[in-house]
Structure 1
Amino acid sequence: MRISSIYTQSVGPLADGVIKLEDDWSNEIEAQVLFTGNNGCGKSTLLRGIAILWEALGIWLSTEQPLAPASNTRKWLERWGGIAIIFEDFNLSSDDKIKIGLFMVQMIFFPK
């Protein structure tokens, strides 16, 4: 399982849009990726976003409840407009290869 793309909307200093992790020539998903840029451009924010989505998914899978209002995970996600990660080569069985997405949208994680 590899991350094929990351979508951001109002996530810290990152521009709204998509970050594709595919090779431009072969369209294969890269085995290794290096994020570079000036201080404050969003490298750490992007990695934090991936980690926080994993944590939020784990909390939701174990409790089947929205994130608690006092949780640090929720506080971070509330700062952002939205973030999504698309995985490729996610094998549910030996014959199936599908894409799976993790999305943070307030309607799912945060009750009104």
Structure 2
Amino acid sequence: MKLRFFYNLLIGLCIATSFSGGALALDSWQILSASEGELGALQGLIDRAVETHPSIAAAAASARAAGADVRAAKWQRFPSFSVEGLLLDQPGNIMQAQAVVDQPLWTGGRISGAINRALILEGL
């Protein structure tokens, strides 16, 4: 959503400044009278600006991070596995190993709330 906003804003500013000689006034006849070559060149400039502008890159990174947050929140419903080991450097001690499985049975809505929060933040 943010990426689309920045893209539309950038397109509007590029069109306004290129067809009006740098001023932000734009008449509809100027767009209609533009040649195909001018519009192609303008589209190339817009594409380059979208690819290289820091605000656009930040919005894209934010969207990717929001998607990762949703996946991480959904993974909280599954069990987690771990292996622990203990070795004491004392004579006569033995090694101990332990496998642990944690499965959330009841979290009081914490997991569902985290998933809903991540989905809402992804939509912003």
Which structure features the higher share of strand residues?
Answer: 1
Same fold (TM over 0.5): no
Which structure features the higher share of helix residues?
Answer: 2
Q: Compare CA radii of gyration and give the structure with the larger one.
A: 2
TM-score (norm 1): 0.29
